[in-house]
Amino acid sequence: MAKKEEYLRKPEWLKIKLNTNENYTDLKKLMREKNLNTVCEEAKCPNIHECWAVRRTATFMILGAVCTRACRFCAVKTGLPTELDLAEPERVADSVALMNLKHAVVTAVARDDLKDGGAQVFAETVRAIRRKSPFTTIEVLPSDMGGDYDNLKMLMDAKPDILNHNIETVRELTPRVRARAKYDRSLEVLKRAKEMQPQIPTKSSLMIGLGETKEQIIETMDDLRANDVDIMTIGQYLQPTKKHLKVQKYYHPDEFAELREIALSKGFSHCEAGPLVRSSYHADEQVNAAAKQKQAHA
């Protein structure tokens, strides 16, 4: 008889408080009315109730809901996308204005089927938000867009307030965890973004709990700092379905606190680290922290 697969029991500190107040239901209604996707829903983010119900923030996911990559940690649907909605940037901008957001995060599925990797729609979304909400800060979280210089330049020329591209995991685990993405290519994207627009802070996120060592986590921090990355987030990997990679370890909040201190000691302007931290968690605070540090060093 086949041995039943063993799964680690989720610790108490990962219990999530549900909150479906008026903010939450209003935001959900708005997303459906505008025919928009959010990574909050598609990736089963554990913070959706805090962000939607309490902070009234959301991360917009453009370029459809079907990703061309099948990363073994991610719950977003994979396949061959059939749509490219050129009216989407205006709908996102309308929603940002209706929500009166101080900070908007725009991410996207990987679109390896498009020559520009979706860069044009990304750039148009940034410009549309700027037109309709000139005081809203904008963070973009693209894929590596095939590592193409012109694709990244098209996006950086739109001048978002933060360029966020996730390294996701340590070098040694990248081939097993990420589909088609390469560790060094992600570093190259972050490096080039900074070279193109030195005044724009760059940011990257790391999931832990996939079998990495503490030394490998610290090496990843060093690699990011060597490429002038300003902001880092570190969060616990949570297995979205039984088809995805299993959790190898649940890190204690004290371990996250220690990793945050190590990151800050290495020169990151801001580091958000905790069991439920995700790439855009408290992103509004991160952009403020980066701006304050830039002013202090001016």
74 is in an annotated binding site: yes
CA dist 274 and 46 (Å) reads 12
CA dist 38 and 235 (Å) reads 19
Average pLDDT on 94-109 reads 85
Looking at residue 76, the DSSP 8-state letter turns out to be S
Q: Burial code of 241-253, b = ≥16 C-beta within 10 A, e = fewer?
A: eeebbebeebbee
Whether residue 29 contacts residue 75, with contact meaning beta carbons closer than 8 Å, is answered with no
Which of 20-29, 164-173, 244-253 has the lowest average pLDDT?
20-29
Query: DSSP of 140-166, one letter per residue?
Result: EE---GGG-HHHHHHHHTT--SEEE--
User: In the chain, what are the domains?
Assistant: 20-291 (3.20.20.70)
141's tokens: 């979280």
Mean pLDDT, the chain, whole residue set:
82
pLDDT at 44 over 60: no
CA dist 14 and 91 (Å) reads 34
Q: Which of 212, 215, 274, 277 lies closest to 248, judged by CA?
A: 212
**pTM for the full model?**
0.82
pLDDT at 125 over 90: yes
Q: What is the pLDDT of residue 17?
A: 62
CA dist 24 and 51 (Å) reads 9
101's tokens: 């957001």
Q: What is the pLDDT of residue 12?
A: 81
CA dist 135 and 133 (Å) reads 6
Whether residue 129 contacts residue 96, with contact meaning beta carbons closer than 8 Å, is answered with yes
Pairing type for strands 231-236 and 137-141 reads: unpaired
67 is in an annotated binding site: yes
CA dist 229 and 166 (Å) reads 11
* Model pLDDT for residues 87-97, shown as the tens digit of each residue: 899 999 998 89
* Model pLDDT for residues 5-34, shown as the tens digit of each residue: 566 788 887 776 655 666 666 666 766 776
Q: What type of residue is 160?
A: P
271 is in an annotated binding site: no
